[in-house]
Structure 1
Amino acid sequence: MKSPLLLAGLLPLLAGCQALVGRDLPTPEHPGERWQGEVIRQDSRFWFSPCGDGRRFEVAGLDSLLQEAAERRFPLFLDMRARLGTSDATGADGRLTFTRLYRLENEGPGCADPNFRQMILRAGGHEPGWQIEISSQGLLLQRLGEAPRALPYLEEQLPEGRLSFSSEADGEQLELWIAPQRCEDNASGALTHLTATFQQGGQSYRGCAYLGGARSD
């Protein structure tokens, strides 16, 4: 369980529809490091440039993932786990073998997200728009047309990699349920590795979620 604490700050609301696109394959025994940066397709290869890093890596294992993203425009922001090895491609600083997706998108702050390193999880959905960001300092709830609320929370780890975050303040209770299933925002095309269900006031809302830099499970 996490100790109740508070968070301050503002984040933009997510928008768009969500669609489940199947449970992720099990993570390999040695999934490698977590990487964030931009990916492009050039000369029948995928190339990855890490955030704040002048290197350029060939990426393997992305073909099936980006086949789903055929209509998206490059460059794309990619948050992934990958194993680093050598490459015979001209101009490559190495070869990254993709093992796990956290996020793939062409909208949003990308490398410029100031809260990423401190963030445990971000979830959001629409109709009406809502977003929850969780850090070790607390839970920040934003709902369309309402003032942001910083709340204490409790975390529970559930079977099969699922998580539950709950908060009760001012006589009102909210719960956020997270499951390890790939999720697509049909408006933006963003893919994430988690689905989210947000419950408040007797209502239930679906959305997508991903782990932040403070929780790279």
Structure 2
Amino acid sequence: MNLYAFGKGLVKILLTPLYRVEIIGKENFPADGGVLICSNHIDNLDPPVVGMTAPRPVHFMAKEELFNAPVLKSILPNVNAFPVKRGMSDREALRKGLSLLKEEKVVGLFPEGTRSKTGELGKGLAGAGFFALRSNAYIVPCAIIGPYKPFKKLKVVYGKPIDFTSLRERRVSADEATEIIMESIKHLISQYK
């Protein structure tokens, strides 16, 4: 058994009863093809929670600093995470993400780029739009509706994939594409809160 599958099982056993995790919209998740999951970011536990609820293995883009942390630097690469330099255009990370999507894998992103201090949805960065426009992946909006409080319900909602065909043809900007993704996440949050 690989470390990803082991980790996913362990996280599920620990977090599902603690946060009474409810998964909504799992049927919206494409069974094959490249998938870009774009989720809001309210807690450090978001990546494991999305990873354990997604029906397919997820490759997360994670801030580079985590790959220098003593324990994490040996774990992260083995659970499909890859580094991104924050606050600048990281070509290496963009190439890696696109190549995973072309290989029909699942890439997980938090378009806000950092955790929301208030729990409110922040502004998305252009990276999400870049991946959405430059790949033929399904774009799946995801909303994590908390808070993370023991024995209070935590919802993870997967929306229907956003159809980017016409946006790709119209060559909209990465910022515009990200805005459309963020609107979808916002809609899921207000619908299921």
Please confirm whether the aligned pair reaches a TM-score higher than 0.5, indicating the same fold.
Answer: no
The TM-score by the shorter chain falls in which range? under 0.3
Structure showing greater radius of gyration is 1
TM normalised by structure 2 equals: 0.25
TM normalised by structure 1 equals: 0.23
Higher relative contact order (CA 8 A, sep 6+): 2
| Greater fraction of residues in helix | 2
| Greater fraction of residues in strand | 1
